[in-house]
Amino acid sequence: MNEGPILKVSHLKTYFGSKGGLFSKGKVVKAVNDVSFEILHNETFGLVGESGCGKSTLGRTIVKINEPTSGSIEFEGRDIVKMKGAELKAFRRDLQMIFQDPYASLNSRMTVGEIIREPMEIHGLYNSTKERDQKVSELLETVGLKPDHIRRYPHEFSGGQRQRICIARTLALNPKFIICDEPISALDVSIQAQIINLLQRIQKERQISYLFIAHDLGIVKHISHRIGVMYLGSLVEVGESNSLYREPMHPYTKALLSAIPIPDPRVERSKAAVEISGELPSPLDLPSGCAFRTRCPFASERCAKETPQLRQVGDRQVACFLYEK
């Protein structure tokens, strides 16, 4: 096993410019606002937050779909922000991504065989088409589909089957790290478990690290070793998943946890809801200080003046003044 983290993100900022109109000034959306974290080899790091909190942008910045405004991303000790050309192409083999919408992430004009063969063609893996087809069949079986599905088109498959095709496509490159951007939120309940189990099995067999992005804390807790909670572009809490679930510290994590519907009427009836008031502020207009203070039941004057930083409290990191002396 290699020493050190496989992925190290430090002070990453991704801003989007919003063009100003004729009479208004352009504003900046701080989609990812100074985020730092590390992911170890063979680890699953869960990233949760509501829509618009920047979790997907963070994932997309790591695979270089979005350009970071500042900060560094190190993959196995190499900075990938400045990577170009052949080096970048080689890096792509190690770091892959699974997207949210299995209906949109497959090219509908290509057959399943062509889709899974494509990454091998791009990177010149294997020598002949025959060898590649052999590999495609193997991959289809790995994800629980049949080799005779190879000539079918994506629209003939159900959502879960398509997501498995997407997984097979990323596995064609044998990556060391996969970013899963809400891979199950568009799927049916009985299919979600299939995908989760498949991802876990693959991790065991191939020693892959995951960055697992989702809005559902329940699922993230199940699959992740550690969890980061994001709110309006910043990480507010990072910790080991079971402990974070049992004793959430940041008020936002608490609210998020209490909102998960539990499939058990007894638990649901006895559950005390942690109320957070209002709705997500516009990311164009972040509140001063702590971004969560407008909805936080414990907000004080200090929260408006200073921005809390992530700091070690017990077994985890929290960005909240409640845990400072």
What SS3 state is found at 11? strand
Instruction: Tell me the C-alpha distance between 144 and 75, whole Å.
Output: 31
Instruction: Tell me the C-alpha distance between 33 and 238, whole Å.
Output: 16
- State yes or no: residue 152 binds another protein (CB under 8 A): yes
Complete DSSP assignment for 56-93: HHHHHHHTTSS--SEEEEEETTEE-TT--HHHHHHHHH
Residues 86-125 that bind another protein (CB under 8 A): 88-89, 92-93, 96-97, 99-101, 104-110, 118-119, 122-123
Least distance in angstroms from the C-beta of 305 to another protein: 26
What SS3 state is found at 119? helix
Q: Where are the alpha helices (DSSP H) in 123-174?
A: 129-142, 159-171
Identify which range of 10-18, 36-44, 60-68, 311-319 contacts another protein by CB under 8 A.
Answer: 60-68
Instruction: Tell me the C-alpha distance between 182 and 48, whole Å.
Output: 10
Residues 70-89 that bind another protein (CB under 8 A): 88-89
Q: Which two tokens stand for residue 1?
A: 């096993």
Task: Tell which one of 28, 260, 284, 304 touches another protein (CB under 8 A).
Answer: 260
Instruction: Tell me the C-alpha distance between 223 and 279, whole Å.
Output: 28
Q: Which is nearer to another protein, 119 or 308 (CB)?
A: 119
Cβ neighbourhood burial of 51 (10 Å; 0-12, 13-18, 19+)? exposed
CA 303: distance to chain centroid? 28
Q: Which is nearer to another protein, 30 or 169 (CB)?
A: 169
Residues 286-315, mask of contacts with another protein (x by CB under 8 A): ------------------------------
- State yes or no: residue 254 binds another protein (CB under 8 A): no
Instruction: Tell me the C-alpha distance between 231 and 7, whole Å.
Output: 21
Size, binding site for another protein by CB under 8 A: 78
Q: Which is nearer to another protein, 131 or 188 (CB)?
A: 188
Least distance in angstroms from the C-beta of 306 to another protein: 25
Q: Which is nearer to another protein, 51 or 207 (CB)?
A: 51
Instruction: Tell me the C-alpha distance between 195 and 164, whole Å.
Output: 7
Q: Which is nearer to another protein, 2 or 51 (CB)?
A: 51
Task: Tell which one of 4, 17, 77, 261 touches another protein (CB under 8 A).
Answer: 261
Q: Which is nearer to another protein, 79 or 264 (CB)?
A: 264
- State yes or no: residue 194 binds another protein (CB under 8 A): yes
Residues 158-177 that bind another protein (CB under 8 A): 158-161, 166, 169, 173
